[in-house]
Structure 1
Amino acid sequence: MKSIKTLLTASTVLALAGTQANAALISILDLAPDATSKNGFTITSATSGTTVTLSFTQTGDLDGGTLDDTLAFDLVYTAYTGSTYSGGDVTLGTASTPNMNNVNWHNNTFAGGDTLALEVTNVNYTDGEGGDHQAIFNGFLDIRPTHYSSAIVGDVDYYLSLVGATTITGDPTFGADLSANGDNASLYFTASDGPVRLRNLDLQFETVAVPEPSSVALLGLGFGALALRRRRS
């Protein structure tokens, strides 16, 4: 009988966990800095000093429900020239205004020592079904560089983040996988060589169900019972 009770408790925990797994991915693919719309989003831009802010808004059924939802957020970016890489860390150079009027993310060319700094801020999600979902940033996915100069004949190293930077080595005609940055809302992307052109940025959000307070309490009781059962055995 005790084993049956333990099994029932475990089943309850798994069932409750499953109710929270109702998630939908919202991707923005092939984004260029001059875009005014992309993948269902309307985009406006503003420049202040060396900082460019792209503001995104989309209304529609984003979480697989029955009513329209709204997701809004800002993508803030700037660029730096003369950054250095040493011992796993990147030191930023001088801030410069990135190019926001073309398909390239930084002044048409991206050379050794250049850094593109990106940050997702002001995420605001309205759930059409009554507030039981929230949107979380799920990470930068990819950015696709292209050859700019015939002098670039080999691989180019890119460094992700500033401290303990992850090194990506790859042919600059193909995409640079940004998944090593995880779901970090800030991304620092530095090149060791160049020039190349940076185009087509991918990023992603996820809608996640927020459990009712009673479900959270029941879930906690279930895990507590499992822990107590394990301690007694």
Structure 2
Amino acid sequence: MRIDIITVVPELLESPFNHSILKRAKERGLLEIHIHNPRETTPYKQGQVDDYQFGGGAGMVMMAEPLAIVIDKLKEERTYDEVIFMTPDGVLFDQKTANRLSMKGNLIIICGHYKGIDDRIRQHYVTMEISVGDYVLSGGELGAAIVVDAVGRLLPGVLNDETSALFDSFQDGLLAPPVYTRPADFRGWKIPDILLCGDPKKVDQWRHEQSIKRTGERRPELLKGME
């Protein structure tokens, strides 16, 4: 998979993509992440990429031309499955969306900044709009990092145990069950006996029951969606 991210503050993305699972994905040649700063190719003086809103109002808007130049150049080089815009009024990002995007080959992610981007870019280039929550961030970079992390870890070969992602929260519509590791007795706090029974079927049944219980306690609306 190749993901191209357009941002005016690329420094915000340096750390998330250079550590842990995403670093491993890049080293294994399973994921390419390329960052593009429209300030470097803008036709306007002094790297200008934003201007005042037509009609007045507070806040600057990212201009159409600097963004279009970057997108056009990328699309001349390859075909993209989605051009994604990170925005508070987009569709709420969830595990199903991450699963669907992990099956794609090439993605562009546009990170808005300031008051947003000229809406003509949304109308003529963007194919998918994503929000990571009902709140407003200073820009789309942190949201883009979340999307890339959630998608990248699903690529075959990224995780050392490829079955691990299958049991993450939300993969089956439920929250993940509690997990434990050694020692079995820590400060007198013992793990459930069922985990030491040696019967995988009984353990799986217990985990499923715990998933339902935890989901009912913490996210009951998910259970209603399964009825």
Band of TM-score, shorter chain: under 0.3
Larger helix percent: 2
Larger strand percent: 1
Considering Cα pairs closer than 8 Å and 6+ residues apart, tell me whether 1 or 2 has the greater RCO. 1
